Amino acid sequence: MPISFRGHRKQYGFIRAARVAHLATADRAGRPHVVPICFALSQDSLYTAIDLKPKRRPAENLQRLRNIMQNRRVAVIVDHYSEDWKRLAFVLIHGRASLARGKEAQRAIRLLRRKYRQYRTMALEGRPIIKIRPTSTCPWGTV
């Protein structure tokens, strides 16, 4: 059952402020795959684009997209590292992934461009936009 970040203000602020996260997907057999992502957050979803940064494969052949088509269950970790270990923190998000389409994809692109200036001149329209609806969150540390 999807949840909203509305009731988790401290987590929402921590996640929203982060510049990078890590997306974990798994194929049908459960083989894990983890990649760093740029992302934007709405009240009930997290979005990440398959952008034009260099990739080894065409967008439609990326492992994360193939995995999502086989197994929608994903995890995202947003963390803060500090040499002062009293300041370590993370939020683990479990959720269900799908591709955003239409007006939702347009809204996600606006959110991504607001957060990352690099996206303001990058053609994201027509590119895959992954939408993650959180089903649970688990904070740890100074979140």
| pLDDT tens, residue by residue, 36-55 | 999 999 989 999 999 876 56
Give me the domain span that covers residue 13.
5-141
Question: What digits encode the pLDDT tens for the residues 77-122?
Answer: 999 999 999 999 999 999 999 999 999 999 999 999 999 999 999 9
- Pull the structure tokens for residue 74: 């994903």
Q: Look up the CATH number of the domain holding residue 69.
A: 2.30.110.10
Write out the DSSP string of 7-68.
G-HHHHHHHHH-S-EEEEEE-TT--EEEEEE--EE-SS-EEEE--SS--SS-GGG-HHHHHH
Count of domains in the chain?
Answer: 1
